[in-house]
Structure 1
Amino acid sequence: MYPMTDQKTDEQQPAAEAEEAENFEPLTASYERLRHSTDSAELSEFARRPLPDRSDQAAFSRATALLEAVAGNRHTPVEDRVFLATTMPFPNVLVKLSEDPEPSVRQAVAANEDDKNWLVGRLTKDPVPAVRDHALRNKRTSWKMRLEGAQDPNADAETLDYLGVLGTELEEGAPAVLASMVRRAVALNPHTSAQMLQKLADDPSPEVRHAVAQRQ
């Protein structure tokens, strides 16, 4: 015979399940409620709430869908939007955050290495230099975007220092021709530091060394 405590739990189980079903909010209703909520505390709590285990596919999908609503709500505190932009791997959430009016949020998206390359590419064109720079230093950025970044006369020296060693000190297995084109563009960029130019003067690629010589 089972203990009384277990029997009581078994008897209460159907009632608990019925109450849970009665209080369950459809996904579309929850999404709209969170999307339009002005309750910053509720939005912050949801942003920081651990996701369900992936084995519970329905609950996991629901939670990630609702995070999109939280990410797109400007009443969600900035620090929580930055947290989501930094930690989330989900494209639907990151796309919302990539359009955020707060540059620090877009910068966090730009640095997120779970981004899709097209999303990082979009952020290499951001009007805020810090966002562009983080996007260009993201390993997800395409070589086309890296080349355009290296050619940008507004690129800062720190970003050019990063682009100037692609294929040599960083990403040594990178496509040689593409990496060389990026380093050559760095050599020709007016914002490239003297230290980087000195390093590029000894580059293994003749095209890069020739570009440095053109600067002298």
Structure 2
Amino acid sequence: MTVEIELRAARVRYGPLEALHGVHLPVPADALTVLIGRNGSGRTTALRALAGTVPLAAGRVVWRGSDVTGLRADERARRGLCFVPDLRAVYGTLTVAENLELSSVDGDFTQAIDGYPALRPLLGRRAGTLSGGEQRMLAVSRALLSPARVVLVDEPAQGMAPPVAARTYELLRALDAAVVIAEQRLPSGLSGVRTPPVLVHELRRGSVVFRGEPAELSPE
């Protein structure tokens, strides 16, 4: 598989604490990469390191063979990286429609409404007044509307009802991009997926302890 972006021997520190201990994380262009691990495992930090929202204390971020470690998050975004964090992922004072317009290239957010029809009656509502699941739908819509080459989403289905969560994973799998999602455990809807291939990396205390296909993952 062709690697789109990767962490190489990445170390991230928050003050005296090291959150990533020399993590190597290749992200293939033609697969769905899932980072799993309990809170504090380093999965969110790995996404942020790829996105450029936290600096590396050591190691590199390499994107299509080029070292982008020194590029700011906004510069990576302009190059085609879309990061959907788990918190503060929408503009609460703006309406749903305004959030979608900002995420789209030409103001057309039809694709997001097709993906999440439940957003249509909410277009005039301020995003900050939505439920947690509705805000996640709106946040993930950024990835649906962005012409990104790399899409990073932290807990995409948080707060969603099971049918909406299943739909969310389908939408992310269908993106023409290298997609990385972070979850506490492997979503059941991804365990038997063959197209695109699903690759799992399990982190514990800042280190990768497993990498492979879902079928190889030991049950909890």
Which TM-score applies when normalising by structure 1?
Answer: 0.30
Q: Which protein, 1 or 2, shows the higher relative CO under an 8 Å CA cutoff with sep ≥ 6?
A: 2
Which has the larger share of strand?
2
Which TM-score applies when normalising by structure 2?
Answer: 0.30
Which has the larger share of helix?
1
Greater Rg, structure 1 or structure 2? 1
